[in-house]
Structure 1
Amino acid sequence: MADWGPVLVATVLFVLLCPGLLFQIPGKNKVVEFGNMQTSGASVLVHAIIYFGLITIFCLAIGVHIYASQ
């Protein structure tokens, strides 16, 4: 049996936390900008830290597991 929980969590978080897709912290003109589809080095770093924190919480602390059997 394969555990697809971490794969699913990582994929969903990666899509949702792409800088500029839903929001960007820090933005070009404001602290938080929504849906501007732009990015900067600082926002990539902030989103990477948020991504690491959330994936650690979901995969290690909560222990999300999704098993797929054939």
Structure 2
Amino acid sequence: MNGERNLTELKVGDDATIARIDSADDKILKKLMALGVLPGMKVVLLQKFPSYVIKVGNTRIAADEAIARSIIVVKK
């Protein structure tokens, strides 16, 4: 196993590195890329409820569960 998991499996406060975006929806993919959610970037999970909030670089992003599941990370 390579340690990959989706973002929803992290605990609040965990940091990880984005391995890939696993979405068949081109709009989601382009939106995440435009926001700087890219493979190799460090991500911190700030909250899970009522929506997922992540920090990537200096940007905070709120995402629903479907989008959060499409962000595949590797925890160190």
TM-score by length of 1: 0.24
Normalized per residue, the structure richer in strand is 2
Higher share in helix:
1
Q: What is the TM-score of this pair, normalised by structure 2? A: 0.23
